[in-house]
């Protein structure tokens, strides 16, 4: 078994607590479903947001999912690159798995699909 990173990103329309929390859960659930993982397999989750999202900590949404209360979570602010995608939430889910790097399914939702059109 090895540790693999699963990337994901989504965007919100507003810097609003409920929308940030909701879209964080949607993104995480999609990552989990596409990669067939459970919380027990997760080493940790790194969460970044762009500087324009400061209404809440996205980790709050993950912490409230049943079975995810012991998963280590960390929030940070994304590097403010000029011209970067605004209103963006990114996840790096580190999972213990037997899957190869090629079998990992990264997830990009909403406007974040622009970040990885190859996927």
Catalytic residue among 22, 29, 63, 114: 63
Q: Please say if 102 is a catalytic residue.
A: no
Q: Please say if 114 is a catalytic residue.
A: no
Q: Please say if 63 is a catalytic residue.
A: yes
Q: Please say if 60 is a catalytic residue.
A: no
- Burial (CB count <10 Å: 0-12, 13-18, 19+), residue 72: exposed
Pull the structure tokens for residue 106.
């990264």
Q: Please say if 4 is a catalytic residue.
A: no
Give kind and range of the element (H or E) at residue 33.
Answer: helix 17-35
Catalytic residue among 78, 88, 105, 111: 78
Q: Please say if 29 is a catalytic residue.
A: no
Catalytic residue among 4, 23, 88, 108: 108
Q: Please say if 105 is a catalytic residue.
A: no
* Enzyme catalytic residues: 7, 63, 75, 78, 90, 108, 116
């Amino acid at each position: 078994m090895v540790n693999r990173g699963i990337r994901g990103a989504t965007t919100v329309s507003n810097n609003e607590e409920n929308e940030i929390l909701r879209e964080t859960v949607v993104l995480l659930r999609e990552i989990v479903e596409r990669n067939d993982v459970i919380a027990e397999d997760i080493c940790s989750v790194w969460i970044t947001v762009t500087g324009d999202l400061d209404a809440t900590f996205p980790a709050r949404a993950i912490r409230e999912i049943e079975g995810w209360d012991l998963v280590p979570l960390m929030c940070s602010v994304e590097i403010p690159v000029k011209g970067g995608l605004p209103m963006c939430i990114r996840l790096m889910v580190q999972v213990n798995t037997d899957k190869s790097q090629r079998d990992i399914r990264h997830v990009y939702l909403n406007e974040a699909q622009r970040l990885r059109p190859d996927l």
